[in-house]
Amino acid sequence: MNQTPESLLVDARGLSCPQPAILTRQAISQAAGRVLEILVDAIAQRDNVIRVAVKEGWSAVPEETADGRIRIRLTK
């Protein structure tokens, strides 16, 4: 996980379920007020990450990146 002061990036590309969802849960517990950005590369992973985030009370906005991957922006 790379960190910047205002956002926490989780690169879950190449990982299969449930790894991206588990990493998202960990990131949520360490977010400390920061925005989270989760990178995944398939729709099933995207949906799993969003499901976990929404359950924890976060809002999730997915967008497709230039290289065809998916970036999910999570805000509390």
Partner 1 sequence: MLRPLRAMFQPQDCPDLMVGIGCLDDAAVYRLDSERALIFTTDFFTPVVDDPYDYGAIAAANALSDVYAMGGAPLLALNLAAFPARLPAEILGQVLMGMADMVKQAGAVVAGGHTIQDEEPKVGLCVAGMVHPDKLLTKGGVQPGDQLVLTKPLGTGLITTAAKMDLADREDVDEAIQWMRRLNRAAGKTAADLDLRGGTDVTGFGLLGHAWEMAEASRVTLKVFFEAVPFMNGVVRYADQGLFPGGTASNYTAYSKRIHFAEYLNEDQKMLLFDAQTSGGLLLAVPQEKMGEFSNMMEFHGEKCWIIGEAVGREAGIQVI
Spatial separation of the C-alpha atoms in residues 41 and 58, rounded to whole Å = 21
Closest separation in Å from C-beta 12 to partner 1: 12
CA 65 to chain centre: 14
Among positions 7, 9, 13, 17, the unique one binding partner 1 when judged by CB under 8 A: 17
Among positions 21, 70, 72, 74, the unique one binding partner 1 when judged by CB under 8 A: 21
Is 62 a binding residue for partner 1 by CB under 8 A? The answer is no
Spatial separation of the C-alpha atoms in residues 64 and 72, rounded to whole Å = 9
CB contact at 8 A, 36 and 27: yes
- Residue ranges in contact with partner 1 by CB under 8 A: 16-18, 21-22, 24-25, 43-45, 47-48, 51-52, 54-55
